[in-house]
């Protein structure tokens, strides 16, 4: 079978780690402050999925020829002025893409065939004159949690306009984190929708996850990918999920890193201790990170057998 059409058959679990310095990793809907529980910073999976979709949209999508279509992505009406900010509905996009199909099932199958984000994350589909359908996608991400004791800082900002009196500028405020290192869990379960996720989709997901996040750069949105761990389980009769892993890695030099004196040091002993218990079910462990920016700390003697399964890559290998 052609590699581009080969379906994912193995189960995977992973950890994805990002860092945001003096920025907002994921604002809430009230005042755009960094999302938090009692000051403990967290992020939603949707902000990461948006990064993936945006990267695919910008880098590989050919919308006009209905190739590599990112379906769940906001699209402006071509007939409207961009300043009007008017977007197409799902029905608009759906009808435009597959206007040559008359049967809804044919359209729905064509959507799965052409849309990598649907094959990755699934979605709920409700269109006019049709029953709704739902796909629980093979790739799922959890909410992210900060592991660096990030603090939320509120900054006073000024606008370049004076008040009516002409004596002072209008002022406002914005909220950022000082230094948040966010850890997410990833699961890949092909049984969620068999024969849907392609091997090429999984590789595209990794690339889009890493570089799509790096590309979101603005005054507030400036988050960098730091580490991606992908654990591939042996494909046998045992269906395995070994629980959430994201908080089993720890920043061991929080103070020194925040002072700008040291690169990030992540202690992986707890994570590798857990993985060691399931070593007979693990095919390989892909580690993607830049060793100029990040150090992984673990006991090489204790985990020597596990280490033999490591596949360590520079981020450039994703390209």
Give the pLDDT score at 8. 96
Between these two residues, 172 and 200, which has the higher pLDDT value?
A: 200
d(CA 98, CA 312): 42
Four-CA torsion 202, 198, 62, 95, nearest 10 degrees: -120
Confidence band of 159 (pLDDT split at 50, 70, 90): low
Query: Would 103 be classed as within a structural domain?
Result: no
Between these two residues, 172 and 108, which has the higher pLDDT value?
A: 108
Give the pLDDT score at 3. 57
pLDDT tens sequence across 55-75: 999 998 876 676 778 888 877
Asked if 11 and 234 touch (Cβ cutoff 8 Å), the reply is no
Mean pLDDT of the region 140-157: 93
In the predicted structure, residue 231 carries a pLDDT above the cut 70: yes
How many other C-beta atoms can be found within 10 angstroms of the C-beta atom of residue 292? Answer: 8
pLDDT tens sequence across 273-293: 999 999 999 999 999 999 999
Of 103, 135, 102, nearest to 116 by C-alpha is: 135
Give the pLDDT score at 30. 81
Give the pLDDT score at 161. 64
% of the chain beyond a pLDDT of 70: 86
d(CA 5, CA 113): 10
Give the pLDDT score at 85. 58
Of 268, 241, 137, 251, nearest to 185 by C-alpha is: 241
* Three-state SS annotation for the chain: CCHHHCECCCCEEEEEEEEEEEECCCECCCCCCECEECCEEEECHHHHHHHHHHHHHHHCCECCCCECCCCCCCCECCCCCHHHCCECCHHHHHHHHCCCCCCHHHHHHHHHHHCHHHHHHEEEECCCCCCCEEEECCEEECCEEECCCCCEEEEEEEEEEECCCCCCEEEEEEEEEEEEEEEEEEEECHHHCCCCCEHHHHHHHHHHHHHHHHHCECCCCEEEEEEEEEEEECCCCCCCCCCCCHHHCEECCHHHHHCCCCCEEEECHHHHHHHHHCHHHEEEEEEECCCCCEEEECCCCCCHHHHCCEEEECHHHHC
In the predicted structure, residue 203 carries a pLDDT above the cut 90: yes
Confidence band of 134 (pLDDT split at 50, 70, 90): confident
pLDDT tens sequence across 241-285: 999 999 999 999 999 999 999 999 999 999 999 999 999 999 999
Give the pLDDT score at 61. 81
In the predicted structure, residue 1 carries a pLDDT above the cut 50: no
Give the pLDDT score at 128. 63
Give the pLDDT score at 288. 98
Query: Would 118 be classed as within a structural domain?
Result: no
Query: Would 111 be classed as within a structural domain?
Result: no
Query: Would 93 be classed as within a structural domain?
Result: no
Query: Would 71 be classed as within a structural domain?
Result: no
Mean pLDDT of the residues in the chain? 88
Confidence band of 238 (pLDDT split at 50, 70, 90): confident
Give the pLDDT score at 230. 97
Asked if 181 and 150 touch (Cβ cutoff 8 Å), the reply is yes
Q: Provide the residue range defining the domain that includes 153.
A: 3-59+138-318
Query: Would 125 be classed as within a structural domain?
Result: no
Mean pLDDT of the region 98-121: 84
Phi, psi values for residue 199, rounded to 5°: -60, -40
User: Structural domain tally of the chain?
Assistant: 1
Asked if 33 and 190 touch (Cβ cutoff 8 Å), the reply is no
In the predicted structure, residue 171 carries a pLDDT above the cut 80: no
In the predicted structure, residue 6 carries a pLDDT above the cut 80: yes
Query: Would 160 be classed as within a structural domain?
Result: yes
Asked if 227 and 295 touch (Cβ cutoff 8 Å), the reply is no
């Amino acid at each position: 079978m052609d590699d581009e059409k080969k379906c994912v058959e193995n189960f995977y679990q992973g950890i994805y780690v990002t860092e945001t310095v003096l920025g907002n990793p994921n604002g809430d809907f009230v005042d755009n402050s960094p999302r938090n529980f009692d000051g403990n910073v967290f992020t939603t999976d949707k902000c990461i999925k948006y990064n993936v979709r945006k990267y695919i949209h910008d880098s590989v999508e050919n919308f006009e020829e209905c190739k590599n279509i990112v379906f769940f992505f906001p699209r402006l009406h071509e007939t409207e002025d961009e300043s009007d900010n008017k977007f197409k509905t799902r029905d608009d996009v759906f009808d435009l893409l597959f206007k040559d199909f008359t049967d809804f099932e044919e359209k729905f199958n064509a959507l799965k065939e052409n849309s990598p984000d649907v094959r990755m994350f699934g979605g709920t589909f409700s269109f006019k004159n049709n029953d709704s359908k739902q796909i629980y996608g093979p790739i799922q991400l959890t909410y992210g949690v900060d592991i660096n004791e990030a603090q939320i800082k509120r900054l006073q900002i000024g606008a370049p306009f004076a008040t009516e009196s002409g004596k002072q500028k209008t002022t406002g405020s914005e909220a950022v984190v000082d230094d948040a290192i966010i850890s997410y869990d990833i699961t890949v379960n092909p049984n969620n929708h068999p024969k849907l996720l392609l091997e090429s989709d999984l590789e595209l997901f990794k690339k889009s996850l890493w570089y799509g996040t790096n590309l979101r750069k603005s005054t507030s949105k400036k988050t960098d990918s730091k580490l991606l761990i992908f654990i591939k389980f042996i494909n046998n009769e045992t269906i395995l999920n070994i629980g959430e892993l994201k908080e089993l890695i720890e920043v061991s030099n929080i103070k020194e890193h925040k002072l700008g004196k040291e690169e990030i040091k992540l202690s992986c002993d707890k994570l590798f201790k857990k993985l060691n218990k399931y070593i007979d079910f693990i095919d390989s462990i892909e580690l993607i990170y830049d060793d100029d920016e990040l150090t992984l700390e673990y006991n090489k003697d204790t985990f020597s057998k596990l280490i033999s399964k490591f596949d360590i890559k520079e981020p450039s290998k994703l390209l």
